[in-house]
Amino acid sequence: MNNFGYARASDVADAMRRIAADPAAKFIAGGTNLIDLMKENVARPSQLIDITHLPLKKVEETKDGGLRIGALVPNSDLAYHPQVETRYPLLGSAILAGASQQLRNMASTGGNLLQRTRCLYFYDTTTPCNKREPGSGCSAIDGINRMHAILGTSEHCIATHPSDMCVALAALDARVLATGKAGRRSIVFSEFHRLPGDTPQVDSNLQADEIITAIELPPKGFAKNYTYLKIRDRLSYAFALVSVAVGLDIEGDTIKEARLALGGVAHKPWRDRDAEAQLKGAEATRDNFLHAAETVLRDARGFGHNDFKIELARRGILRALSQAARGTPQSQADKRIK
Ligand SMILES: Cc1cc2nc3c(=O)[nH]c(=O)nc-3n(C[C@H](O)[C@H](O)[C@H](O)COP(=O)(O)OP(=O)(O)OC[C@H]3O[C@@H](n4cnc5c(N)ncnc54)[C@H](O)[C@@H]3O)c2cc1C
Ligand code: SF4
């Protein structure tokens, strides 16, 4: 057992002051990931800074008609929020595909973004892991890597980001609002998480002295033609092998705008703008969907146990695009797609 201190932040400025004064400290929100990591001796913070009493629990409309979600809004409250149910059902579906009801009640919006990988070697302190202990090696590359990444990997780490919510946020073009010593900033979602490169211990571009205060969604929610498809070993309470978030804006059979992001395949939610550009202006056909899938997976590489993910992702993309095009987010194969 490692000793650690505990302090309750009184406001955002106080939280920032405390984290800046003690770089080995960690914020604690729902605690559903951090406490597990501490129990497994993977995380050893000097101090827990409790942010659960900060006023970051509101969901409110922005001036431009989008939505601002406070960093402490619980995942369940967000999924069932009327604005999310009606305007951003892709986000609600992704949240409800994750964890369990009890965990979603505790888990916060900000904490979900910063949850750490579920790579088993990362949790097993008896094995080498560059993410846990930089320079020690990666046990997964030649080990059991069935759950691991097929895109954006490096020779140092092939872990995946485990969040479902973040895949929808990537597709929806969200922004992360953060505050730190240098002031406030708004981070484009696709630039929030990082690829492993040669520093896999760093998951995101959030600075050590920054706190996430909110997530902002633009007005467009793709509420009519969307799908969050999560493929996993069990129907609930399992992390994604592959997940696909799709939002389409369709007129007749023509796609005016497409959003496509994948989970379970990379160190960050994987959004492919080339595939989206290919779909823009194209007809909603099986061939065009397959073409987009090939584009997303053009550089995919398996590591043995996870080779199957490449074909699974291809089929997942095809199915998710087909469901979204038909406007039946949870249905099976689409007979109307040519
Ligand atoms: C058994 C189990 C199954 C799960 N299954 C899924 C699943 O299928 N899909 C899925 O998406 N998730 C799943 N989860 C993960 C769960 O969604 C996350 O643990 C949760 O979202 C983390 O939120 P939290 O508030 O509890 O974070 P915490 O554990 O409190 O914090 C996590 C990290 O975020 C940091 N942090 C928290 N808030 C802020 C902030 N505002 N600013 C800066 N840093 C902050 C903390 O310092 C810590 O490093 C599962 C978890 C468990 C335990
Ligand atoms: S994949 Fe990443 S997290 Fe897993 S063992 Fe390798 S370095 Fe560690």
User: Could you read off the pLDDT of 256-294 as tens digits, one per residue?
Assistant: 999 999 999 999 999 999 999 999 999 999 999 999 999
Span from the CA of 253 to the centroid of ligand 1 (angstroms) = 39
Q: What is the pLDDT of residues 212-263, one digit of tens each?
A: 999 999 999 999 999 999 999 998 889 999 999 999 999 999 999 999 999 9
With vertex at residue 64, the alpha carbon angle to CA 59 and CA 65, rounded to the nearest 5 degrees, is: 50
Instruction: Enumerate the H helices of the chain as residue ranges.
Output: 12-21, 34-39, 75-79, 82-87, 89-96, 101-106, 109-113, 120-123, 165-171, 273-279, 286-296, 308-326
In 10 A of CB 142, how many CB atoms?
10
Residue 33 CA to ligand 1 center (angstroms) comes to 5
Q: Is the CB of 111 under 6 A from ligand 1?
A: yes
Q: Is the CB of 292 under 6 A from ligand 1?
A: no
What residue ranges of the chain have pLDDT lower than 70? 1, 331-338
* pLDDT for residue 274: 98
Q: How confident is the model at residue 338, as a pLDDT?
A: 55
CA dihedral 87, 93, 98, 103 (to 10 degrees): 50
Instruction: Give the binding-site residues of ligand 2, using a 6 Å CB cut-off.
Output: 117, 119, 121-122, 129-131, 138-140, 157-159, 200
Determine which residue's CA is closest to atom 38 belonging to ligand 1.
111
- Report the atom number in ligand 1 closest to the C-alpha of 95: 11
Mode of pairing for the β-strands spanning 26-28 and 183-188:
unpaired
Task: Give distance in angstroms: CA of 239 to centre of ligand 2.
Answer: 16
| Cα 53 to Cα 195: distance, rounded to the nearest angstrom | 32
Q: What angle do CA 22, 26, 31 make, to 5 degrees?
A: 160
What is the model's pLDDT at position 337?
A: 53
Q: 151 near 229, Cβ under 8 Å?
A: no
Compute, in angstroms, the gap from residue 29 CA to the centroid of ligand 1: 8
